[in-house]
A = this chain, B = another copy of it.
Amino acid sequence: MARTDTVEEEATAATATAAARRGPGRKRDEATRHAILRAAYETLEAEGYGGFTIEAVAARSGAAKTTIYRWWPSKGALAIDSFLDLYQREAPFPQTRSASEDLKANLRLMAKIWGGRYGCIIAGIIAAGQSDAATIELYNERLVKPRREEGLRLLQRGIANGEFRPDIDIEAALDALYGAFYGRLLAWLEPLDPAWAERLCDTVLRGLMV
């Protein structure tokens, strides 16, 4: 469908604005692009972020380093691109049941994903982002913001249908709910699993006070 194509293209546009450019010159080789992305993801999985090196990706993909540098401004950007599609696919945002049930389902799913093989990749990207502003901004733009937007809508829906109090601080609530993942993943090294996510959800929904 045309619309889907457009969305796809917009998603890609962040790193490949060139795709839209018309004019003479050889076109970007899609096969190469895919080979690089695939090699990048494989490297991330096989070596972790520590072994995620432009040289390694070049070697594994058969592409030249220069080609990678031409299209991705930094290691982090490549890493994000390489696993974003896969991640998106595995993390749909449920919108079917009650707001609190949807929230719980979403947190459970996220815990499952973050607790699995994507966890250390995400951790690596965020780590890289601490010394590379572009990377962390890209992470924000492509991963955080869309999902936070969904969270915002979910909470608004909950307010609208009377599940949540109308005076809650939505930002703070999202900080509490999703921040916990970052703390456990990055600093506390505690496991992330659906059961924990459920407890977290319950705790924040009900609050601490009597």
* Chain A residues at the B interface, C-beta cutoff of 8 Å: 48-50, 100, 120, 123-124, 126-131, 136-137, 139-140, 144, 148, 155, 158, 162-165, 168-169, 171-173, 175-184, 186-190, 196, 199-200, 202-210
Contact = CB atoms under 8 A, between A and B. Distances in A.
A126 B130 contact: yes
Which of A128, A179, A200, A205 has the most chain B CB atoms inside 10 A of its CB?
A179
A176 B200 contact: yes
A140 B210 contact: no
A169 B126 contact: no
Contacts of A181: 179, 183
A189 B136 contact: yes
A183 B175 contact: yes
A205 B203 contact: no
Contacts of A175: 180, 183-184, 190, 196, 200
Given A140-B189, A155-B208, A168-B208, 11 more contacts: A100-B209, A127-B127, A129-B186, A144-B187, A172-B200, A172-B202, A173-B208, A175-B183, A179-B182, A204-B208, A206-B209
> What 9 A-B pairs come out closest when comparing CB atoms?
A207-B207, A179-B183, A179-B180, A127-B130, A50-B131, A179-B179, A175-B180, A127-B127, A172-B203
B124 A202 contact: no
A198 B93 CA distance: 29
Contacts of A127: 126-131
Given A131-B127, A140-B189, A164 B208 contact: yes
A10 to B, nearest CB: 21
Contact of A209 (B140, B163, B199): B163
